[in-house]
Amino acid sequence: MNAKRSDHLATGLIYTFVAIVVLILFGLIGYILVSGVPHLSWHFLTTPSKAFAAGGGIRDQLFNSLYLLILTLIISFPIALGAGIYLAEYAPDNWVTSVMRTAIEVLSSLPSVVVGLFGYLLFVIQFQMGFSILAGAIALTFFNLPLLTRNIETSLSAVPNLQREAGIALGLSSWKTTTGIILPAAVPGILTGVILSAGRVFGEAAALIYTAGQSAPVLNYGNWNAFDPNSFLNPLRPAETLAVHIWKVNAEGIVPDIDAVSNGTAAVLIIVILIFNISARMLGNRLYNKLTSSK
């Protein structure tokens, strides 16, 4: 049986490819963790970084990364959701839509540094935001929008038409059908998009160097007044993230423990992303079950 043999062959091939990929991924993550985890300590996580002496930590960078992620999602998620709904549910199949789609894809291929400079000249200088988390979040929105929009659109389109028809048949408006039936069913797919784009936020450096800046001024974590320049909540203060910190330490760092700081930070980044992914997934599953009453 020829078909059977090629079936076996193909299966074997696919398993081999997967094995290779798994090997690479494990090697990579293992490499980062093995070289980084030994440098981790409570002290490392809770002290501010140092300019030239050994023993600096990453307290502010860690917080900045998380804060930046939240701000970016607040800005980009609603827009992407609206756009995704438009593309999946309302968009007519004509050249305008097709141009829109192409434009979104082009947006995602812009090199970070170009977006960074655009953000710098427009937001930091022109709109006088200064080097700030907000400017950084807006710049990151440029990367996130295409990914998120695309993802939301695909997840919405993947929901069977049957569900739409059922909604309409029940007399619901198409908006109600979309938000009440289609959207909940698409939650897991949308979540993947959010997680992927969150990863991009954590990992981005080039665009942030020119927008959120590369210095981490001393923060006061007891100051809840978001207007105060010292406050950790102020969206208008410059903020160096973990990824930028790694870049900076390796490019121009003169601390004697560059390797420790750089590898340690990388390990922290991986662990943070892991925690974020797992908790987002758990939350998403719960949300999915609740919204679709599948349990």
Partner 1 sequence: MKRSITIALSLLTLLIIVTGCGNKQSQSKKMTIVGSTALQPLVEQVASEYSEKNQDISITVQGGGSGTGLSQVQTGAVLIGNSDVFASQADGIDADKLVDHEVAVVGIVPVVNPKIGVKNLTMQQLQDIFTGKITNWKSVGGKNEEIIVINRAQGSGTRITFEQSVLGKKTAVKSQEQDSNGTVQQIVGSTPGAISYVSFSYVNNKIQPLSIDGVKPNVTNVTTNAWKIWSYEHMYTRKNPGTEVDKFLKYIQSHEVQSKLVKQLGYISIHDMKVSKDANNHVSK
Partner 2 sequence: MDEIKDRLLKPSKATHEDQRGKFISYLSIGLIAVLVISILVFITIHGLAMFTQNGMKISDFLFKTDWNPGKKLIGALPMIVTSFGVTLLSALIATPFAIAVALFMTEFAPKRGAKFLQVIIELLVGIPSVIYGLIGLAIVVPAVRTIYGGTGFGILAGAIVLFVMVLPTITSLTVDSLKAVPRHYRQASLALGATRWQTIYKVILRAATPGILTAVVFGMARAFGEALAVQMVIGNAAMLPQNLTSPSATLTSQLTMGIGNTIMGTLPNNALWSLALLLLIMSLVFNLVVKLIARKGRIK
Binding residues for partner 1 (CB under 8 A)? 51-52, 71, 74-75, 77-78, 81-82, 120, 125, 127-131, 134, 175, 179-180, 183, 209-210, 213-215, 217-218, 226-227, 229-230, 234-236, 238, 248-254, 258
List binders of partner 2 among 64-93 (CB under 8 A): 78-83, 85-87, 89-91
Least gap, CB of 214 to partner 1 (angstroms): 5
Sign of the CA dihedral 158, 160, 164, 167?
Answer: negative
CB of 94 or CB of 126, closer to partner 1: 126
Whole-number Å distance between alpha carbons of 152 and 158: 10
Q: Which stretch binds partner 2 (CB under 8 A): 50-58, 107-115, 221-229, 230-238?
A: 107-115
Q: Does 49 bind partner 2 (CB under 8 A)?
A: no
Both structure tokens of 163: 């569900």
Contact 291, 184 (CB under 8 A): yes
Q: Does 278 bind partner 2 (CB under 8 A)?
A: yes
Place of tokens 């894809």: 105
Place of tokens 């980044």: 269
Contact 88, 181 (CB under 8 A): no
Q: Does 180 bind partner 2 (CB under 8 A)?
A: no
Q: Does 13 bind partner 2 (CB under 8 A)?
A: yes
Of 133, 142, 141, 139, give the one whose Cα is nearest residue 67: 133
Both structure tokens of 156: 């919405």
Q: Does 176 bind partner 2 (CB under 8 A)?
A: yes
Sign of the CA dihedral 133, 138, 140, 144?
Answer: positive
Chosen from partner 1, partner 2, none, partner binding at 254 (C-beta under 5 to 8 Å by type): partner 1
Chosen from partner 1, partner 2, none, partner binding at 86 (C-beta under 5 to 8 Å by type): partner 2
